Structure 1
Amino acid sequence: MASNTVWHAHKVCRDSREILNDHKACLLWFTGLSGSGKSTVAGLVEEKLHEMGKRTYLLDGDNVRNGMNRDLGFTDSDRVENIRRIGEMSRLFVDAGIITLSAFISPFRSERRSVRELMPEGDFIEVFVDSPLATCEQRDPKGLYQRARQGEIQNFTGIDSPYETPEQPEIHVINNGITPEEAANTVIDYLLTHGYI
């Protein structure tokens, strides 16, 4: 750990970036089982925000693991480190004045809480994309559940590794029997009614 470093405050600050952007920055943290629709909903939310002229960036689990976090596996400790790094990176994006969308299973409450605690009050918006395990298995867009059931993938969330559901998410999307568009509009409505955009 770096003990001889101090955070340097620059003249161009978050407030000035938000004024330039004409919207508040925040972190939309999409969590849910594999196949719940997190990435789909997050992608649609970003598209809608982009059409509205808002500055955004979407961090997706697979994309990050192909780059910055490619050295991590899927053990519990690696999952914790994965989320820690994403949290730190998200904090920088929010400081840059950007509406940041992070779509990760992030199965443990303690790790989601640690990311929340990195952020100033109101900056972390937990979006629980809630789909039943059976529905996620039916969707199984990458064939991962089938491989996990056959023992080909270890430590798979929902099968042999737990998912701890959010207790009080800011946004709870029950993504079962609704369209991705409806799910995305739930998030946009929250941002509008709470003055982020």
Structure 2
Amino acid sequence: MVKATNITWHNAAVTKSDRHLQNGHGSCVLWFTGLSGSGKSTIANAVSAELYRMGINEYVLDGDNIRHGLNRDLGFSEADRTENIRRIGEVAKLFVDSGTIVTTAFISPFRTDRDQVRALFEKGEFIEVFVDCPLEECERRDPKQLYQKARRGEIRDFTGIDSPYEAPDQPEIIIRSDLLTVEKAVKEILGYLRDKNVI
């Protein structure tokens, strides 16, 4: 619901197409989704680093980092998770409009929330990357000891334990992070961007 009144959308003098021409590449959001510990942030940052090396405008929006600032007022209830993803979608849209390839690393557990973000973008700009990793492997990795805390009841509404994760129905890219190295995952994602003439 829009609460602000007496507001008007202003079209920019420099368009997204202008930026694409100047940059020599397109823009999009690579929306990484998957369980905690699946490797979303690791792969997103590796993709970002490779794009940077190639001279491409890029940026990473990471779930934990965003919750330190923009979304620090949100908890982990279903309503707060939905608002978290809504805000990130709007920020990602601004990045794409600026001519940037933005990678986002968020669990974003609910299909409806991800679909609402997809609807913000033009066709082909929202690229859902499902980092598919079995829960058992994510728990084995458990880099932040979050699963241990959730199993002990110290964390409530933890995705995969007492809150559901809804896997994408038709993601653009599936990365089996328990089977692929980070390097191979990056190669697959960059190959997709080349096939779609984004880079």
TM-score by length of 1: 0.98
Matched, 1:168 2:194: no
Residue 13 of structure 1 deviates from its aligned partner by 1.1
Quote the offset at 1:26 in angstroms: 0.3
Give the match for residue 129 of structure 2.
127
CA distance in 2, matches of 1:64, 1:92: 15
What SS does structure 1 have at the residue aligned with 2:129?
A: strand
Alignment of 1:1-197 (within 5 A): 1-197=3-199
Q: CA deviation at 1:5?
A: 1.7
- The letter of the residue matching 1:140 is D
Give the Cα separation in 2 of the matches to 1:177 and 1:92.
Answer: 34
Residue 4 of structure 1 deviates from its aligned partner by 2.4
List gaps (5 residues or longer) in structure 2.
none
Q: CA offset at residue 186 of structure 1?
A: 1.0
Aligned equivalents of 2:21, 2:195: Cα separation in 1? 19
Which residue identity is paired with 1:189? G
CA deviation after TM superposition for structure 1 residue 10, in Å: 1.7
Structure 1, unaligned runs of 5 or more: none
* Cα distance, 1:42 vs structure 2: 0.4
> How big is the shift at 1:7?
1.4
- Matched positions, count: 197
Deviation at 1:143, TM superposition (A): 0.3
Q: Distance in 1 between matches of 2:163 and 2:97?
A: 33
**One-letter amino acid of the structure 2 residue matched with residue 38 of structure 1:** K
Identity %: 57
One-letter amino acid matched to 1:83 = I
**Cα distance per residue 1:107-162 (max 9 Å; x no partner):** 00000000000111111000000000000000000000000000000000000000
Task: Render the CA deviation track for 1:151-187: whole Å, top value 9, x for unaligned.
Answer: 0000000000000000000001111122111111111
Query: For 2:119, what is the secondary structure of its paired residue?
Result: helix
Partner Cα separation in structure 2 for residue 39 and residue 86 of structure 1: 15
